Amino acid sequence: MAGPRLTVVLGDITRQDVDALVNAANSSLQGGGGVDGAIHRAAGPELARAGRDIAPCRTGDAKATGAYRLDPPVRHVIHTVGPVWHGGGDGEREALASCYRRCLEVADGLGARSLAVPAVSTGVYGFPAAEAARIAVDTLRSTPTSVTDVRLVAFDQPAYDVLSDAVS
């Protein structure tokens, strides 16, 4: 199975035309800051209610909900909990790779073929962006999946540059 096609885009993840959005969530699945807050605002309060029913989600794992008020064609939100960066000696790299692997597994279970993915853990959680981008790209390329398209969504130009380097 060939890996999914990876495309880097600059913009807001809630505006992507894909089957499923990946959310950089926290274990409560109740919403938070950053990309998590943006996805919850766009999806409406039903998203936190759905999250509560399936929480908690462990670091490195992923769980799906519906997409509620997000614009079609988005039908699912795949919530993954990235590691908090503690200097790299605490299994952070393995946990981040696990996030991307589990997102593809969950997407396969849903029949989703296209995903938009944020730079998990690189905001408040402090994972160094260039290394996180390499882990994201390596894991997405090496995990067997039926997902054909992954959009790596950068929220600013530095994130776009780092992700573009990682895919090239």
**Which residues are identified as catalytic?**
36
Q: Which 94-113 positions form the footprint of ligand ADP (CB under 6 A)?
A: none
42 makes contact with ligand ADP (CB under 6 A): no
Query: If binding is defined by CB under 6 A, does position 159 make contact with ligand ADP?
Result: yes
Please state whether 34 falls in left (phi above 0), alpha (psi between -120 and 50) or beta.
left
Q: CB of residue 144 vs ligand ADP: minimum separation in angstroms?
A: 25
How many of the chain's residues bind ligand ADP (CB under 6 A)? 21
CA separation for the pair 116, 15 (Å, rounded) = 10
Question: Out of 119, 133, 135, 147, which residue is the one contacting ligand ADP (CB under 6 A)?
Answer: 119
Residues of this chain, 74-93, that bind ligand ADP according to CB under 6 A: 82
Q: How far apart are CA 78 and CA 144, in angstroms?
A: 18
* Cα three-residue angle 5-6-12, rounded to 5 degrees: 130
Q: What are the structure tokens assigned to 36, written together? A: 């998590």
Q: Please say which residue, 36 or 92, places its beta carbon nearer to ligand ADP.
A: 36
Smallest gap from Cβ 14 to ligand ADP, in A, equals 6
> What is the DSSP code string of 105-137?
HHHHHHT--EEEE--TTSSTT---HHHHHHHHH
Footprint of ligand ADP on this chain (CB under 6 A)? 12-14, 24, 33-36, 38, 82, 118-125, 153, 155, 159
